[in-house]
Structure 1
Amino acid sequence: MSEKRKIKLGISIGDFNGIGCEVALKTFEDPRMMDFCTPVFFASNKMISQQKSDLGINISFNGIRNASQAIDGKINVVNVWKETPKVEFGKVTEESGKYAIKSLRAAVSALKNDEINVLVTAPINKNNIQADDFKFPGHTDYLAQELDGESLMFMVADTLRVGLLTDHIAVKSVAEAITPKLIEKKVEIMEKSLKMDFKIRRPKIALLGINPHSGDNGTIGEEDEKILKPTIQKLFDNGTLVYGPYSADSFFGSGSHKSFDAVLAAYHDQGLIPFKTLSFGKGVNFTAGLVKVRTSPDHGTAYEIAGEGNADESSFKEAVFTAIRVFKNREEHFELNKNPLQKQKVKRAG
């Protein structure tokens, strides 16, 4: 990418009855953000005008037909629809789900066609997005289908990085879903992402146990002894610095996570509860393993405060910065791997 051309950062607006538009628009209310990227919203002029008016957000924007027309130094809005859907802050409606998907589909299409470089997704509601042609529990599963690669839900906040072996599945299904093949795949995605996206040369990964106290040597469930331990040993013997399984109840509280570059949790809440507790509202959900970069804030639609103008944009802003950093790190990674001589120079300089 030319140094003069800023990264085009696409934004799907999520559920417009929630806080997605608010935190996204507030992020770019600060004109200094234009120094880092060119924002491209996928919605409509009328929708963005209504949101900024209702929420008292002071921005101006440039309406365009497609993302390739985006102008650096301006907030750009691709007009995905012409009609004016009804906004009902704080309510779960079929209409808001329908338009959340329209925005997402348009943004992903632009990403696939290289009209934007990265994508930041505002929060959706997993219930009202369901339709005959959209049966996904969330963004991650849809993106995994649309973009090449196998995905990993990877929560990041500075040096705290937590990935998930299983994400949006019922707790009762976790143990049977975790197989040696799944563990090997997720560890491989995580290790590759740490090297390519976060510039960590020899990443150390911790794996959390499935059962309390990692099964207490088979006393509390046999999955940790029979599945996790031998798979971890196999990966380690093959050169991957992966350790565990560690008892999840004390791992973060004791500060053990600080000894690793990333942690792989067995299931959703095992990883996200400590992550969100420690990240203080500035965490980012990054979809690792795909050929394109996608991030999102680590919170939901927050209907309870929607329309009040009080939503905190910190997590969304961090999602923007993370997407930009990962994109640049990948460019550098691919450039170094194309030029072995340059790679040697970098090693010597380090």
Structure 2
Amino acid sequence: MLADVPDAVPGEGQVVAKTLACGICGSDLHAVHHLEHGVEMSLRSGAADTIDPSMDLVLGHEFCAEILDHGPGTDRRLRAGTRVVSTPFNFGPIGPELIGFSTRYRGAFAERLVLTEALLLPVPNGLKAEAAALTEPLSVGTHAVAVANPDRNSVALVVGCGPIGLAVIVALRRRGVGPIIAADFSPARRARAEKLGADIVVDPAVSSPHANWSSLDVPATLAEFSLAQLSGRSLRDALIFECVGVPGMLQNLIENAPPTAHVVVVGACQEDDRILPVIAINKQLRFTFVFAYTPDEFAETLQALGEGVIDPDIFLTGEVGLAETAAAFARLESPGNDVKIMVQPWR
């Protein structure tokens, strides 16, 4: 819904900025139809209550913006006109609040927004705004791989090649991990995974993503693993990134992952799920659940984009103005060829 909102007024230590580009995230899609459920999950996780249901919520947290003016108590280290990105937080009376999921701090689908000066990072090397706005989703992949802490002995499988799965592939390749197996039902997403550095690309409708373990020196079954151990054979480590987030996926991995695999759960399943732990116990599987990123990982990802280490054009599949945003949301609910659509509120 398009609506006028009050002027953005910066508070202590804040700036007001013009949104140049803001990506549509899967969490935005979920919020449109299931906001109450998302709020409930956040509160059950122990997060602060940042959404007043009596007020309008303006989404958008993957952004690049231009500083327009400085509020009180700012040091003005970045002048007006500077293009910036930021981890999407502002500091309010109840602590940090996520921009785009707070009714106190509107998101970047608005034409103007308030940002915390201390968190701003200038966009480097003339990087275009749409590419700079990818810093936030790409940082999720940077963090997932950092937590996994792979080495050059690791063989990685990325299940799901949407924006986050592709971000994981980028981060794995930047760390020199390989081979990388990528699995997705979408031909377009598989093609992008290959361009970003996946060595083996699998259509799960045709073959199992787990069919290559033995040929890559990873024992695929408990029987193979036991034989390899008894014979003293050196083994490679299996590292699996779950980037789909639908019920049944964890049990699928428990049943099909090789013994001792490390499963990193990046996909945000927001429904009840069931697993059979004894199979994971028998295989000695390890599960790690990850969320977001650190400020250092965010800055590192921006630097990689600015230095041309990451090709942003593989991710960018559309640009829309505010009037076209609802249609873009509908497109992404059945993504097809789309990966990341950028909203440009100034259009």
- Give the alignment's TM-score, normalised by structure 1: 0.29
Query: Whose helix proportion is higher, 1 or 2?
Result: 1
- Give the alignment's TM-score, normalised by structure 2: 0.29
